[in-house]
Amino acid sequence: MKPYHFDPKEVVVAIDIGTTKVCAIAGRMNEYGKIEVLGLGKVSSEGVLRGVISNIEKTVRAIRDTVSSVEKQLDAKVSMVHVGIAGQHIKSLKHRGILTRDNAHDEIVQEDIEKLIRDMYRLVLPPGDKILHVIPQEFTVDNEQGILDPIGMSGIRLEANFHIITGQITASNNILRCIEKVGLQVADLTLEPIASSSSILSDEEKQAGIALVDIGGGTTDLTIFHDGIIRHTAVIPFGGNVVTRDIKEGCTIMPEQAEKLKIKFGSALADEVYDNRIITIPGLKGREPKEISEKNLALIIQARVEEIFDYVIWEIKRSGYEKKLIGGLVLTGGGSLLKHISLLAEYHTGIPTRVGYPVDLLAHGYPEEIATPIWATAIGLLHHGMGTRNYDSAVALNESIEEKAPAEVEMASDADESDISKKGWWETAFQKTKEWFEAEPDPDIL
């Protein structure tokens, strides 16, 4: 996977700081609009609780380790990254903006829309909150409603409904502080559910109406799309870690054993467990081993996962789009890897469900380890970064890659630069050939 030739200005690096893992990925967009993965790294996360950084030092160590892994594969130094933000502090609200234009005959331009968006950032929020994203919904031009793209229309009164996503200032500052302590710059901060949606959902699904449920370690993120626009976002303060904790308490075993049980033998639907094997768990230091049936394990998991979907249903109803989700539910994140979880979601919610894998954006030859919902957010952040990046280089090449440059410069200096600039390559080549065939050699060359 190690690349030998790439333009550093094309490379984008993204970091997903999650409750269970911190992962980084570097890539570039190829000529077919697909992402070529150039480097990746993943380490366990210990300093994050429910999507929010709770221990700066542990998080800095995890970020440093995963970025170091990416740098080794790139053979380059990472300098700028795109980062995600999540957690139960994320909130959303609706607001309406109005812009009165000077001339009713002039066409509405992008600058008018940007002015409306800038006005939204001046909203008064509760102390300690900041606006993360302002997402336009529908526009109204001189009482003409339901316009999705008003650019090019004429009118004196431009109105818009906005979906505004806010988060705690301290949460975003802690992320920025951790990245800076590693010696990196933050290109931008993106809400993780928005990033996940760009790697999982197609434009047709967003147009039809769909709900993306990202089941992470600490939280479950819900994003609802309709007519290609984000209509609702919510963060549910439950995730895969709560399921693990229930197994630990229900079976009175260690957390590590509970996690292994969940991954290897766990099922989200007890009715699908037919063998009902007995699982033996080693006891602590000479104590008797414990036994649990696969069916009972599934019952423990199912109870908690159903509770998560109860919150999902409540949020979908609150959004008002319950009857408009033609695309149904899409599950992603590490929690979606539980066996039979899509079946349980369908039975419990009555909505068609599938598990989303973030491979549609990737070019052929991608590493197999990232073809899993665990990497959905990181790949989404990478894709989002490619769409919004500035052209400051995200990586600095090492000497091993740059060593060819001096030789190329030396070869160029042997040519007569003035001739090349004035006559072009063909005329210069013709002139050199003519001089070579002449009888008298050029004394300057000898």
Domain ranges in the chain are 91-169, 203-357, 404-434
- Tell me: the pLDDT tens digits for 18-32? 888 999 999 998 888
Q: Which helix (H) or strand (E) holds 82?
A: strand 80-85
Task: Quote the CA–CA distance of 438 and 433 in Å, as a whole number.
Answer: 9
Task: Quote the CA–CA distance of 20 and 25 in Å, as a whole number.
Answer: 17
Residue 300, classed as helix, strand or coil, is helix
Q: Which of 273, 216, 246, 373 is nearest to 265 (CA)?
A: 273
Tokens of 338: 């539980």
Please determine whether the domains at 91-169 and 203-357 fall in the same fold group of CATH.
Answer: no
What was the pLDDT predicted at 406? Answer: 42
Q: Give, in words, the CATH class of 91-169.
A: alpha beta
Q: Which helix (H) or strand (E) holds 332?
A: strand 328-332
Q: Are strands 48-49 and 52-53 parallel, antiparallel or unpaired?
A: antiparallel
CATH 3.50.50.60 is right for the domain spanning 203-357 = no
Ranges of H-type helices in 320-375: 341-349
| Residue 323 DSSP symbol | T
CB atoms closer than 10 angstroms to residue 276: 11
Looking at the predicted structure, is the pLDDT value of residue 411 above 60? no
Looking at the predicted structure, is the pLDDT value of residue 433 above 60? no
Residue 446, classed as helix, strand or coil, is coil
- Taking residues 73-82, what's their average pLDDT? 89
Looking at the predicted structure, is the pLDDT value of residue 444 above 50? no
* pLDDT-above-70 percentage for the chain: 86
Ranges of H-type helices in 82-139: 110-120
The structure's pTM equals 0.82
**Lowest model confidence (mean pLDDT) among 51-55, 361-365, 431-435:** 431-435
Instruction: Give the residue with greater pLDDT, 2 vs 19.
Output: 19
CB-based contacts of 277, cutoff 8 Å, min separation 6: 265, 293, 294
Task: Quote the CA–CA distance of 351 and 231 in Å, as a whole number.
Answer: 18
Tokens of 371: 């073809």
What was the pLDDT predicted at 398? Answer: 55
Taking all residues of the chain, what is their mean pLDDT, rounded to a whole number? 85
Task: Quote the CA–CA distance of 239 and 243 in Å, as a whole number.
Answer: 7
Looking at the predicted structure, is the pLDDT value of residue 408 above 80? no
CB-based contacts of 256, cutoff 8 Å, min separation 6: none
Which of 101-105, 289-293, 304-308: highest mean pLDDT?
Answer: 304-308
- Tell me: the pLDDT tens digits for 267-293? 999 998 887 789 888 877 778 888 889
Give the confidence band of 417 by pLDDT, cuts at 50, 70, 90: very low
